[in-house]
Structures are given as structure tokens and as C-alpha cells.
């Protein structure tokens, strides 16, 4: 079996890029604090990913598909969380209060 260096490099870099994004997603999920993120940046990232999908999914399946799919999901999650927790900050407080006092309102 011949070693395909470009595909191997793509697989390794895909893994590294995905792993580098996980701490941001984990922190945003746990804290519900997205105050350090810009809605404009999140919207542009989502728009860019959607447009870039036309190109990426025209390529043969491979590491690029995996990385791009991961970016689509992660930027989509960040947008959903931003809208939910920045626009309605009371959602965070109610969830926190409920977890501290499950018998209370």
C-alpha cells in the first residue's frame, strides 16, 4: 500500500483543526457566556461556510469534507447558542437557578 502524503497531511490537519475548536465549543456550551463573540463574525462565518459548501462538496469525499462538515456544525451551534443566550440572557439564569434548587420555581 502506497503512502499518500497529501491525504495523510489532510487527515492530520483536519484532526488538529477540529481539536482546536473543541475547547471553544465546550466552554460556550458549559458557561452559556458568548459575550466575547461578535454576532457579525458568527454570521459571516456561517455565510462563508454555506457558500464554501458549494465548492467543498463538489470535490471527491475526503478529509476536506470532514473538516468542512465539522465547521458547518460548529459555526451553526455557535450561532444558535449566541441567539439563545445573548438575546435571552434570562434562559441562562433560569437554568442555573433550577440546577441549584430543583424543588424551587
Q: Check whether 95 has a pLDDT greater than 50.
A: no
pLDDT number for residue 67: 86
Q: Give the model's confidence band at 72: pLDDT under 50 very low, under 70 low, under 90 confident, else very high.
A: very high
The Cα 105–Cα 86 span in angstroms is 22
Q: Check whether 68 has a pLDDT greater than 50.
A: yes
User: What does the pLDDT average to over 42-66?
Assistant: 90
- Computed over every residue of the chain, the mean pLDDT equals 82
The Cα 76–Cα 21 span in angstroms is 13
Cell numbers for 58: 463538489
Query: What residue spans define the domains of the chain?
Result: 36-89
Q: Give the model's confidence band at 2: pLDDT under 50 very low, under 70 low, under 90 confident, else very high.
A: low
Amino acid at each position: 500500500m502506497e503512502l499518500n502524503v497529501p491525504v495523510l497531511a489532510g487527515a492530520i490537519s483536519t484532526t488538529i483543526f477540529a481539536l482546536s475548536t473543541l475547547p471553544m465549543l465546550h466552554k460556550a456550551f458549559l458557561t452559556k457566556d458568548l459575550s466575547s463573540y461578535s454576532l457579525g463574525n458568527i454570521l459571516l462565518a456561517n455565510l462563508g461556510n454555506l457558500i464554501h459548501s458549494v465548492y467543498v462538496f463538489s470535490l471527491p469525499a475526503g478529509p476536506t469534507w470532514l473538516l468542512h462538515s465539522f465547521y458547518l456544525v460548529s459555526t451553526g451551534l455557535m450561532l444558535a447558542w449566541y441567539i439563545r443566550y445573548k438575546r435571552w440572557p434570562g434562559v441562562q439564569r433560569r437554568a442555573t437557578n433550577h440546577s441549584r434548587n430543583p424543588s424551587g420555581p
